[in-house]
Amino acid sequence: MNAKLQGKLAVVTGAAQGIGKAIARQVAEDGATVVIADRNGPGAEAAAAEIGHGARGMRCDVSSEADVAELFDTVAEGKAVDILINAAGIVPFISWDEVDLAHWQKILDTNLTGVFLTSRKATDMMRAEKKPGVVLNISSNSFFAGTPNMAAYVASKGGVIGFTRALATEIGRAGIRVNALTPGLVDSDGVKGSPHADSFDFVEMLQAMPGRGQPEHIAKVASFLVSDDAEWITGQTINVDAGMVRV
């Protein structure tokens, strides 16, 4: 076990499966005590049991202000966490002609407002204790690519990048770092069960390096960004997609 996160308390949202779960596992293996927060409470608890290392699972719908408040007031008995990783998200596959306001609002409520709510609570608690901390927001390279059939998703993930930059500027003097990570197409549970699973061959042709993205590829970079090895990095968007998008 790498101990670079030893003694840290981390909350990872949307970590019952997929990229979030891989990140939670990596952060735990690197020494942090991890709380897996997911709207699928039993799934969060099962993931925590599988990961081990003292990980805990809690139900939390990040689009609910009450759920978020309960999460952070519970995990450390009212004390601030060291690390917040926002991986919760809904990944739709729906053409523009089918996008209505209800769909748009549902995606933004989780993918963007959820990031605001968790960041609001976590960073307020960090600053109240004068405690340095880290926020890492999982966005998507679809923001750069303008991926079709994902209008609300692309908009929400672009909003995450803009929010990351603004928040980093506002709270950097409190010793809190805020970055975004943008995965490309990843061979995760969610993707395998969606129409996006048919896109791997096409995406691979666009990449600078061959192969399929794996959740572990994202998790390793995430763990680096929340560690002290990245202490001089904030307000940045780190693209992790084998060079599909070159920014």
**DSSP string across 52-105:** -TT-EEEE--TT-HHHHHHHHHHHTTTPPPSEEEE---------GGG--HHHHH
Q: How many independent structural domains does the chain possess? A: 1
In a domain, 246, yes or no: no
In a domain, 199, yes or no: yes
For range 192-199, the mean pLDDT: 69
CA gap 52, 56 in Å, rounded? 8
In a domain, 3, yes or no: no
Q: 72, 144, 153, 163: which one is catalytic? A: 153
pTM across the whole model:
0.95
Quickly state the pLDDT bin for 39 (edges 50, 70, 90). very high
In a domain, 42, yes or no: yes
Residues in a beta bridge with 182: 239
In a domain, 2, yes or no: no
Write the CB contacts of 208 (distance below 8 Å, at least 6 apart in sequence). 242, 243, 244, 246
In a domain, 125, yes or no: yes
What is the CATH number for 38?
A: 3.40.50.720
pLDDT of residue 108: 98
DSSP three-state, residue 178: strand
H helix runs in 177-232, sequence order: 189-192, 200-206, 215-225
In a domain, 247, yes or no: no
Examine the pLDDT at 148 and tell me if it is beyond 80: yes
Task: Let me know if 153 is a catalytic residue.
Answer: yes
For range 17-31, the mean pLDDT: 97
**Percent of the residues in the chain that have a pLDDT greater than 90, as a whole number:** 82
DSSP state of 210: -
pLDDT of residue 202: 76
In a domain, 117, yes or no: yes
pLDDT of residue 44: 98
Averaged pLDDT of the chain? 94
Examine the pLDDT at 201 and tell me if it is beyond 80: no
Quickly state the pLDDT bin for 88 (edges 50, 70, 90). very high
Q: By residue range, what is the domain housing residue 138?
A: 9-240
